[in-house]
């Protein structure tokens, strides 16, 4: 056995060992489609905080999960799966939903980009809204969408209370919105606000990260009235031009 093959086997063995504990596997299952703060994980899993901290330390050591600082409550962090860390270790399961609602604060960039990418990847309808909608879609979002051949509808940002229905699958793409909402959120994506930097690179990075998340979630959801056996395609890769 050559050294490269041996290193690969050791890495795979370490991943399987980290996931062999039922509690850690449950954490990974919970994080597979979205991010969560440690307190949210502890509540969702009914797990003592000290035990959760131990399991998170093991998963971080193996490069399975990482943390980001909230742009809303600076004291809070969000735990998320490291992209690609578990490739080929999980099997997607289909879930039927009538519509996906993407929510951010201003409904001016991330939520619109997410809905547009979603429409390109899935037959499940998608809309977007904000907790504090602004007057118009941000120019940076429009420019980034144009650079990547993505259609953004010429619509005015809307408040989430005017858009949401009880049957929507809610995806927050903004820490502030996630922390403000007073109803259950199905999936959270901790996407940095490109408006803070205001650069084309910041908007392109947000678009790329959202595209990766859409590519993970879209194959797992199907429209309520889709034909038997239909499986949505993955979102086309977002590349810089």
pLDDT 10s digits, 36-57: 999 999 999 999 999 999 999 9
Could you report the per-residue pLDDT of 58-98, keeping only the tens digit for each?
Answer: 999 999 999 999 999 999 999 999 998 877 565 556 789 99
Cβ 111 vs Cβ 174: under 8 Å: yes
Give 104 or 85, the one with higher predicted confidence.
Answer: 104
**107 φ/ψ sector (left φ>0, alpha ψ -120 to 50, else beta):** left
How many helices and strands, by DSSP H and E, does the chain display?
Answer: 10, 8
Distance, CA of 4 to CA of 2 (rounded, Å): 6
SS3 at position 188: strand
CA distances (Å), origin 220, targets 25, 159, 190, 214:
19, 27, 20, 10
Q: Which domains does the chain have, with CATH numbers?
A: 3-81 (1.10.10.10), 95-223 (3.40.50.2300)
Distance, CA of 1 to CA of 169 (rounded, Å): 48
DSSP label of 219: G
What length is written for the chain?
Answer: 241
Q: What is the pTM of this model?
A: 0.74
Could you report the per-residue pLDDT of 214-230, keeping only the tens digit for each?
Answer: 999 999 899 876 544 33
How many whole angstroms from its chain centre is CA 68?
13
Q: How confident is the prediction for the chain on average, in pLDDT?
A: 89
pLDDT at 161: 97
pLDDT at 93: 61
CA distances (Å), origin 46, targets 52, 78, 186, 189:
10, 18, 18, 22
SS3 at position 197: helix
Task: Provide, rounded to the nearest whole percent, the portion of the chain with pLDDT above 90.
Answer: 76
Residue with tokens 């509808």: 153
- For residue 171, the surrounding DSSP H or E stretch is strand 169-172
pLDDT at 135: 96
Neighbours of 214 (CB within 10 A): 29
Distance, CA of 118 to CA of 112 (rounded, Å): 10
Could you report the per-residue pLDDT of 137-190, keeping only the tens digit for each?
Answer: 999 999 999 999 998 988 999 999 999 999 999 999 999 999 999 999 999 999
Residue with tokens 């949505």: 232
Report, in angstroms and rounded to the nearest whole number, the Rg of the chain calculated over CA atoms.
18
Distance, CA of 234 to CA of 118 (rounded, Å): 9
pLDDT at 154: 83
Tokens for 236, please give them.
């086309």
Could you give the angle at the alpha carbon of 90 between the alpha carbons of 178 and 216, nearest 5°?
Answer: 45
């Amino acid at each position: 056995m050559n050294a490269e093959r041996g290193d690969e086997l050791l890495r795979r063995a370490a991943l399987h060992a980290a996931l062999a504990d039922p509690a850690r596997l449950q954490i990974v299952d919970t994080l597979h489609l979205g991010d969560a703060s440690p307190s949210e994980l502890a509540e969702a899993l009914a797990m003592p905080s000290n035990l959760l901290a131990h399991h998170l330390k093991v998963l971080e050591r193996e490069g399975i999960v990482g943390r980001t600082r909230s742009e809303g409550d600076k004291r809070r962090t969000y735990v998320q799966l490291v992209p690609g860390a578990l490739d080929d270790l999980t099997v997607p399961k289909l879930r039927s939903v009538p519509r996906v609602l993407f929510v951010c604060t201003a409904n001016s960039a991330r939520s619109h980009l997410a809905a547009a990418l979603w429409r390109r990847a899935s037959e499940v309808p998608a809309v977007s809204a904000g907790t504090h909608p602004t007057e118009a879609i941000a120019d940076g979002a429009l420019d980034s969408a144009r650079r990547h051949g993505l259609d953004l509808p010429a619509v005015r940002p809307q408040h989430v209370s005017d858009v949401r229905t009880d049957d929507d699958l809610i995806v927050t793409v903004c820490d502030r919105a996630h922390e403000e909402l007073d109803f259950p959120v199905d999936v959270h994506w901790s996407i940095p606000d490109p408006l803070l930097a205001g650069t084309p690179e910041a908007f392109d990075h947000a678009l790329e990260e959202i595209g990766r998340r859409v590519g993970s979630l879209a194959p797992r959801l199907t429209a309520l009235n889709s034909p038997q056996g239909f499986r949505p395609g993955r979102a086309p890769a977002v590349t810089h031009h």
